[in-house]
Structure 1
């Protein structure tokens, strides 16, 4: 203990005494208790400094020459001399960081292997997208892995949660449920139950009575997030906060509070019961990550690469069909996950009130405007004055540049009324000069495309070694600049017409 602290505790003015019989506290020592008249029952109150609240584990202070065997004490500081000594003698040192694992490898991979304790994590997704069934199965997974888990709902009553758990066949002994909106009450429940994992669903329903603001307002959400961040650090627990994404403004609002969160996960609908969960921010991971799940009220399943590629490719209509205008298939990669998608695009003359753009949430307006400017400059297609509608079958957000060639091709095909066959796949990014950058498509992916029925690939500068000796026949169309795209689309349409004729 530090000398100055020990001296302060030993000083008469800061020392208290207690009677062991009546538990009365005095500032001075008495031989006989003035309250209960007991003799020899007055003892000095010994105060030992602790680094953490006793409800969540007591950790003694460490002297400079002490090194705990299992790493640093929570809240403790390791002198720089100790780090230098360890690096010199052992070639480096490793502090063991405690973490908690769910029963789903795909979910754990979003945190670099496991979620680290003492962190606050946000799961953000659109309303009615299946976040609650998903996070309940994750809660069950943590509980079955031996982690005491508390799930608090601000949207459903206790009987509603009970009914949901019965329908989902969740019966985990270490999973505790509560229905509450008051954040102070939630913190009290955490103090009482002492869980390792806490899940709150959804953040718009929580509030602090001390904050003079409406429930679900930005001020209330910010204060609640700050309280949760403090609780995660101080109590050494892992907290997951679930929130509804009601538009681009919601994502901006939560990104403005990103300093509260150790990770931000985006929960996105792909198609049917398929969901994509991607890491938007990860403080404990060096690279972006994503995972695909098949989820519903009946259960949750992580899909590996071969499974989701076969599922994605099966979604697309690539069989024999009449060529269609503005409908084409595309391929791109999101956080290392191969994405197959169908893009539907239609353009028409703008009404008297001006052009209207209806863009599915998966495509950013910035991508739309950039591609339209490029097509106007190099292909004489003035789409910004047209009314357009764009839809994706796989509705997960597109962030990959390899989607741009597909968007340009669909827009030109609709603008010039060029029908395209269903067995053509587009992939590639476009720079401001109109040059098409090569897609990082691998030999294994090409084999999967061939097996799925795609026998025409349109991209730029595909590596020859990647498409030699494939299992099936694939025709490759290399296009170097977007100014040649209209001629290529007309050529594909004519070839399909001759084949079907």
Structure 2
């Protein structure tokens, strides 16, 4: 006979303890240990892969295994296809996270409609809205298809039955924090519930070949709510980023078993839903003020796509003992590093200056090729000398002041030429082996000092 016992589980990392503790030994978070009850001596957990002796598989040499040649399912959203790795893989489990109101449900409802229009049966399961509320949102987005089935349910047992009866090719769960297993006594959204419900959905996806999309809430720190195990279980983790009061949204992949994690998709929130932004460089540069000191443009690679973005810097004398260093859109640790290089190798006295840097448009840049543009922005603002608005600056900066080679230089330069820029400053090591576009002057530099001479005239 099963016995009921209690244990304390961290709601952040899933660490289990027999007694309550203020600080979790697993992740170090405070006040995350919650009491949960469970039954001992019960049968196998739901969500685990169960095989009979007849269906159990045997280990085979990898050279004897035949790979399936099933094509990926392409949606009408090219941005989503790029982020997923060129389409949706059958039997995959995809987790989409983002802040409340950012547009996760809108994106998945639009994608569900597109897949249904292509002849695929889609089951949209909402645990946060009734079917009438979902219909109201669908009418606003002009979503209508007989192959799109809507269900308002949170019990995992009934969800499993609905999937068996409908036989869909795609399933959307909105959201995983509202779904629960009746056999587990803890509340929906707890570590146990999220783990077991996700495991059950994984079993359904892998055994039936159904692509499952699940929505995950995020914490105030911006990470997916629930145990970290949730992100390890799924095949892909996508983050929907952006400010609620701005129209542009960015979809990023932080984990993808079927493609690159460096891709980025950009959408614009409109009255009729999300629309793709096919040329983000124009969007990020359309409000740029030309002739302003501290502004430079860099060609950054987001996966396979070059994106031109503006980097702004504001350098002003400090009124504190320790000057401030603030950065939005780039690693804040990179700012004092580059300022130290400018002070040591170029001779700029920046130790008594506050520095504020920002990447316009809400984009986050993390590649080293933006170093030179950041350094030029800082020097431009410090000297109060504007850069040439027709310049693109690309390069990695070393601690000795040298400018190092960057990858995919030809694609970056081609994007600059397409948007009408006249001159590009790049590392000298990148010159050669490719042809520059007509009308674009390419300048190779070896050091930061040389780059400042070309961009600021000294």
TM bin, normalised by shorter chain, reads 0.7 to 0.9
User: Cα 1:281–1:287, aligned 2, differ >3 Å: closer, same or farther?
Assistant: closer
Inter-CA distance 265–287: structure 2 relative to 1 (3 Å threshold) = closer
- After TM superposition, the structure 1 = structure 2 runs for residues 264-413 of structure 1, keeping only pairs within 5 Å, are 264-269=237-242, 275-285=249-259, 288-293=262-267, 296-298=270-272, 307-308=278-279, 311-313=280-282, 315-317=284-286, 323-350=291-318, 352=320, 356-360=324-328, 362-368=329-335, 370-379=337-346, 387-413=354-380
- For 2:447 and 2:382, the matched residues in 1 are separated by 18
Contact kept, 8 Å, 1:328 with 1:422, in 2: the verdict is: yes
Q: Residue 225 of structure 1 corresponds to which residue in structure 2?
A: 198
Q: By how many angstroms is 1:101 displaced?
A: 4.3
**How far apart are 1:207 and its partner, in Å?**
4.6
The residue aligned with 1:120 is: 93
**2:453 pairs with 1:476:** no
1:62-101 matches, within 5 Å, as 77=57, 80=60, 93-97=66-70, 100-101=73-74
Rate the CA distance shift 1:483–1:227 in 2: closer, same or farther, 3 A.
farther
Task: Report the RMSD for the aligned CA atoms in angstroms.
Answer: 4.0
Give the direction of change, closer, same or farther, for the CA distance of 1:322–1:359 in structure 2 (3 Å limit): closer
In 1, the alpha carbon distance for the partners of 2:149 and 2:406 equals: 48
Distance 1:277 1:210, change over 3 A: same
- Cα deviation for residue 111 of structure 1 reads 4.1
- 1:240 matched to 2:213? The reply is yes
Offset of residue 224 of structure 1:
3.9
Distance (Å, rounded) in 2 between the aligned partners of 1:463 and 1:287 = 29
Report how many residues are paired. 407
Matched, 1:490 2:456: yes
2:431 to 463, 469, 474: 463
Find the aligned partners of 1:182 and 1:419 in 2 and give their Cα distance. Answer: 61
Structure 2 CA distance for aligned equivalents of residues 219 and 355 of structure 1: 47
User: Which region of structure 1 is more displaced relative to structure 2, 129-138 or 222-231?
Assistant: 222-231
Structure 1 residue runs of 5 or longer lacking an equivalent are 1-52, 54-58, 63-74, 493-501
Give the equivalent residue in structure 1 for 2:10: none
What's the secondary structure of 2:424's corresponding residue? strand
Q: Residues 98 and 190 (structure 1 numbering): CA distance in 2 closer, same or farther, change over 3 Å?
A: farther
The Cα of 1:489 is off from its aligned counterpart by 4.5
Task: Work out whether 1:426 is the aligned partner of 2:400.
Answer: no
Query: Whose relative contact order is higher, 1 or 2, with alpha carbons under 8 Å and at least 6 apart?
Result: 2
Query: Does structure 1 retain, via aligned residues, the 8 Å contact 2:123–2:149?
Result: yes
After TM superposition, give the deviation of residue 335 of structure 1 in Å: 0.4
CA contact (8 A) 1:149 1:195 kept: yes
Does the Cα contact within 8 Å between 1:202 and 1:244 map onto a contact in 2?
A: yes
Tell me by how many angstroms 1:467 deviates: 5.1
Tell me the secondary structure at the aligned position of residue 414 of structure 1: helix
Secondary structure (helix, strand or coil) at the match of 1:339 reads strand
Residue deviations 1:174-196, cap 9 Å, x none?
11223344545544433443322
Partner-residue secondary structure (3-state), 1:476: strand
For 1:282 and 1:166, the matched residues in 2 are separated by: 32
Q: Which residue is 1:102 aligned to?
A: 75
CA contact (8 A) 1:282 1:288 kept: no
1:258 match: 231
Deviations 1:116-138 (A, max 9, x none): 33321112334433322222111
Runs (5+) with no aligned partner, structure 2: 1-45
Which of 401, 404, 427 aligns to 1:437? It is 404
Check 1:446–1:279 CA distance in 2 against 1; reply closer, same or farther (3 A cut).
Answer: same
Q: Is the 8 A contact 1:274 1:293 kept in 2?
A: yes
1:277-317 superposed Cα distances (whole Å, 9 cap, x missing partner): 343222234785444555645355556xxx52xx5235415
Secondary structure of residue in 2 paired with 1:132: helix
| Within-5 A mapping of 1:3-22 | none
Conserved 8 A contact 1:418-1:489: no
CA contact (8 A) 2:387 2:455 kept: yes
Contact 1:101/1:145 (8 A) holds in 2: no
| Superposed displacement of residue 333, structure 1 | 0.7
Name the residue aligned to 2:147: 174
Q: Is the 8 A contact 2:301 2:412 kept in 1?
A: no
- Distance of 1:477 and 1:200 partners within structure 2: 52
User: Normalising by the residue count of structure 1, what TM-score does the alignment of the two structures yield?
Assistant: 0.67
Residues 423 and 136 (structure 1), Cα distance of their counterparts in 2 relative to 1, 3 Å cut: same
> Which digits, 9 at most, give the CA deviation of each residue in 1:326-358, with x for residues without a partner?
222221111011111112222334455965554
Matching residue of 2:166: 193
C-alpha displacement of 1:76: 6.1
Report if aligned partners of 1:435, 1:481 keep a CA contact under 8 Å in 2.
yes
> Would you say 1:150 and 2:123 are equivalent positions?
yes
Q: How high is the TM-score relative to the length of structure 2?
A: 0.73
Specify the structure having the higher radius of gyration (Cα).
1
- Residues 167, 434 of structure 1: CA spacing in aligned structure 2 closer, same or farther, 3 A cutoff? same
